[in-house]
Structure 1
Amino acid sequence: MNTLITMLKRTFLLIIALTVGIMARAQTADDVYNKYADFNLALLQSEHDKAIDLGEQILPDSAKLPQKVRTSFYNGLAKLYEDDSQSIKAIMYYNRVLAAQPDYYVAHRALGYLYIKDIAVKPANDAVVDAAYISKVKKALPHLEKAQACDPNDDTLALIKQLYSNIKDQQGLSTLTARLTGLKKKCMDILNDQ
């Protein structure tokens, strides 16, 4: 009986110790928001490495940020990763931004260019355009089109046309103007974290 009571006491103490330890490590919403403020300050001061470090500290507890703040945070972190040539991470966080704000064309532009970053825009005359190339182009085109519709740019338009030509999608090319007109109806150029 004494052994049972001793085991129960030890188990109870262990549970209390674990609970206190977990609570001590968990960041409060205020702590996370304060780190987010520091993250923004580092961004404004062009302290790239510090901003990435703060961003990665915030990530495990980013759900504690209000939705609009979290979207803005993901956008800032995506841009940092993009500038740091960490395309996979940048793509992941830009996609999170677009899940929350699908009309934010700045993230669309970034994704469009990230998806085609490692392919030749103008393949050599007789180069084979393979399935991997076509897949990347097809991922990029909707994003580039949204960006073009919201913020027309001759270079982006020429790129879109070149990509459609490369994958031999004449129908996509011929219906481009109509798609751009439709996409232009909803455009967002600034994320509001308030």
Structure 2
Amino acid sequence: MLKKAFLILIITFAAVAAYAQTADEVYNQYLDFNLARLQGETDKALTLGQDIIPNADKLKDNVRNNFYYSIGNLFENDGQSVKAIEFYEKVAAAVPNYYVVQRALGYQYLKQVDELTKKLNATKSDPKENKRIVGLYEKAIKKTLPYLEKAQACDPNDDTLALIKLLYRNIRDTQALATLNTRLSALSKNCVDLLDDK
């Protein structure tokens, strides 16, 4: 009986050890993922990236941030906004001055604003439901704007600026609109345009 228990314990340990990946193995997978992505092999890169996700914590911080941005971008291009947002948010939390991910998040959240705009129009005949949607709409805009503002501050774009102003007008926030230039000036002080993956 004791031998049997010992044998089961050894087999279990061997199985766990065989399953666990080392940091070097995960990094090698990351290199394969990057190569596939750079060669335009999107499906392969997406599959490799999904294999890395459970072990991404074994990557160095800079490499992990780069990976999260890249896999988020692949999810975005694959029409998987929810997954894209999940990984973009990780990058934004780790490198808040990386305006590229800020812009990506702003435009992902803008999709939610657009969906709520459609619902606003569809609920005009139901005042109670319309009021509820208006609340969600305003909340979605307020979530979107900080990301767009950081992107605009670091990489000015007439279309983004016009969009920011439109969103503030849509929620009737004249004070935020009046102080926009001051905020953009402050946000432009610390901008990161490339992620280091070394």
TM-score relative to the length of structure 1: 0.91
Determine helix, strand or coil for the equivalent of 1:130.
helix
2:186 pairs with 1:192 = no
Choose from 185, 188, 191 the match for 1:181: 185
1:40 aligns with 2:34: yes
Q: Are residue 82 (structure 1) and residue 76 (structure 2) matched?
A: yes
Structure 1 unaligned runs (5+)? 1-5
Question: Could you tell me which residue of structure 1 aligns to residue 101 of structure 2?
Answer: 107
Task: Please give the residue correspondences for 1:138-157 in structure 2 after superposition, counting only pairs within 5 Å.
Answer: 138-157=142-161
Q: Counterpart of 2:63?
A: 69
Q: Which runs of 4+ in 1 moved over 4 A?
A: 126-129
Structure 1 Cα separation of the partners of residues 146 and 113 of structure 2: 17
Whichever structure has more helix as a proportion of its residues is 2
CA separation of 1:88 and 1:120: change in aligned 2, threshold 3 A = closer
What are the within-5 Å matches in structure 2 for residues 153-172 of structure 1?
153-172=157-176
Q: CA deviation at 1:178?
A: 0.5
Root mean square deviation of aligned Cα: 1.8
Q: Does 1:49 find its partner at 2:53?
A: no
Secondary structure of 1:116's aligned partner: helix
Task: Kindly state the Cα deviation for residue 27 of structure 1 after the two structures are TM-superposed.
Answer: 1.3
Gaps of 5+ in 2: 125-129
Corresponding pairs, count: 187
Q: Secondary structure at the match of 2:192?
A: coil
Deviation at 1:120?
Answer: 3.5
Aligned residue for 1:120, secondary structure, equals helix
- The Cα offsets for residues 124-162 of structure 1, whole Å up to 9 and x where unpaired, read as 9x8667111111111110000000000000000000000
Q: TM-score under structure 2 normalisation?
A: 0.90
